[in-house]
């Protein structure tokens, strides 16, 4: 079983069926467009392609999660979110570190991601974990006020 330690007495392991409702709820709070519980169930069942890493306590309460997609010799960080009451305690960094450690044992040579240019917290987290900007997509993210946000594309070599 894969397991990584995280701050605050939490640990990180792979999501399993039963986690999808909490993951969907957490995701919906962090993003303008959420995914359904059913979508997360199917991602969990397809762990070889779309692994989800959860930061949990001893009662399996989910403080945060990260999901990636394997794309041959590349992987993509699809989403990462930490519950608001658990933020700024090193859990996002621990999730990303676990993802990177796991990817080091995979064929992937590069991890890519997209982030809204105005998402300071996420951009700083990615800067700190070795990602660099490789592109920009203007008007990429829909926003409730109708003015779409620019996405920054970032990448990090693995291994
Ligand atoms: C981005 C997110 C996952 C960070 O999770 P977190 O657990 O709070 O992050 P950490 O405590 O591990 O912080 C790691 C680093 O990120 C940066 N960071 C985190 N929160 C920050 C904030 N509010 N402002 C500025 N920088 C911040 C800092 O550089 C921090 O390092 P430091 O504490 O040594 O300064 C969290 O803010 C979140 O869930 N946001 C909503 C969802 C989201 O935007 N996801 C990213 C989509 S691409």
Which atom of ligand 1 lies closest to the CA of 94? Answer: 12
129-143: pLDDT as tens digits = 999 999 999 988 888
> CA quadruple 34, 44, 88, 76: dihedral positive or negative?
negative
Whether the CB of 89 sits within 6 Å of ligand 1: yes
Among 83, 86, 116, 122, residue to substitute to test ligand 1 (most atoms within 8 Å of Cβ):
122
Whether the CB of 8 sits within 6 Å of ligand 1: no
How many angstroms is it from 127 CA to the middle of ligand 1?
11
Q: What is the pLDDT of residue 112?
A: 98
55-82: pLDDT as tens digits = 999 999 999 999 999 999 999 999 999 9
What band does 121 get if pLDDT is binned at 50, 70 and 90? Answer: very high
How many angstroms is it from 82 CA to the middle of ligand 1?
8
Q: What is the pLDDT of residue 141?
A: 85
Q: Whose CA is nearest to atom 27 of ligand 1?
A: 121
How many angstroms is it from 50 CA to the middle of ligand 1?
22
> CA quadruple 114, 133, 121, 64: dihedral positive or negative?
positive
Q: Which fold has domain 4-157?
A: Aminopeptidase (3.40.630)
pLDDT exceeds 90 at position 147: no
- pTM here is 0.96
Q: What is the pLDDT of residue 30?
A: 81
Q: What is the pLDDT of residue 25?
A: 96
Q: Can you tell me whether residue 61 is helix, strand or coil? A: coil
Q: What is the pLDDT of residue 28?
A: 94
Whether the CB of 92 sits within 6 Å of ligand 1: yes
Task: Indicate which residues carry an active-site annotation.
Answer: 114, 126
Q: What is the pLDDT of residue 81?
A: 97
Q: Which residue spans within 16-73 are E strands per DSSP?
A: 52-56, 62-71
């Amino acid at each position: 079983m894969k397991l990584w330690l995280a701050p605050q007495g939490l640990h990180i392991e792979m999501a399993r069926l039963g986690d999808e409702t909490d993951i969907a709820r957490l995701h919906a709070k962090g993003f303008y467009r959420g995914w359904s519980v059913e979508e997360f169930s199917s991602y969990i069942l397809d762990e070889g392609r779309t692994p989800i890493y959860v930061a949990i306590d001893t009662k399996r309460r989910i403080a945060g999660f990260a999901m990636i997609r394997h794309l041959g010799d590349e992987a993509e960080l699809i989403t990462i979110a930490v519950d608001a009451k658990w933020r700024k305690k090193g859990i996002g960094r621990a999730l990303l570190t676990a993802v990177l450690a796991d990817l080091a044992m995979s064929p992937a040579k590069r991890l890519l991601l997209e982030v809204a240019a105005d998402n300071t917290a996420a951009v700083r987290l990615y800067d700190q974990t070795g990602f660099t900007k490789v592109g920009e997509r203007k008007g990429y993210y829909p926003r409730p006020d109708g003015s779409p946000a620019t996405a920054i594309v970032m990448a990090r070599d693995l291994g």
